[in-house]
Chain A
Amino acid sequence: DGGITQSPKYLFRKEGQNVTLSCEQNLNHDAMYWYRQDPGQGLRLIYYSQIVNDFQKGDIAEGYSVSREKKESFPLTVTSAQKNPTAFYLCASSLYRGGTGELFFGEGSRLTVL
């Protein structure tokens, strides 16, 4: 079955550690996205990528990094520079570039900083 797989679902991290969240899709979608969700805050855009080897910062990119070396994969690294990383992280993909944006989401990764 086609879909988006995020891993791990739950992750605990000590302060000062970098962690990488995996996002893989087999939908052959062009665009991929990372969002962060805090209670009562809706979804905030961290990074997005429309094509391989290219990505753009979203509204809250500070303290995060991404790569898009393959169409299927868009990993997110939460660095120690991110001041408050505890959140629910959602990866999504979209079939077409340019003006559409029907997103398909993975099940999310919950990161807790101890």
Chain B
Amino acid sequence: QKEVEQNSGPLSVPEGAIASLNCTYSDRGSQSFFWYRQYSGKSPELIMSIYSNGDKEDGRFTAQLNKASQYVSLLIRDSQPSDSATYLCAVNKGSRDDKIIFGKGTRLHILP
């Protein structure tokens, strides 16, 4: 079982709709969870971090964490063409070990 799994996509979403990106992780002791956005040819940039169960909202972005199901998601409301990118889910495995593992990423395409 891979440590962090994401559907590679591409996920196509009409402009203005909600994009839903999902991620599962294997290590039940994982402490911190992150979503990064990566445009083609560029380095990743942090969008959201979440540390406890529930929802965390920041502008058009909402991160959701369910530790019991080992599941993290990212919702993007009112999707814009500029949201077209690869979204990487990342997990920090523990409080004494800063090993941060990434999924393969989901390519998101917003249709104008």
Contacts and interface: CB of A to CB of B under 8 A. Distances in A.
B70 interface: no
Contacts of B49: 100-102
B102 A48 contact: no
Contact of A40 (B8, B31, B43): B8
Contact of A48 (B34, B99, B104): B99
B100 interface: yes
A99 B49 CA distance: 12
Size class of the contact patch on chain A? 20 to 34
Contacts of A35: 102
19 contacts: A31-B98, A42-B105, A43-B102, A45-B99, A45-B100, A45-B102, A48-B99, A59-B101, A90-B43, A98-B95, A98-B96, A98-B98, A99-B32, A99-B92, A99-B95, A100-B49, A103-B36, A103-B44, A104-B46
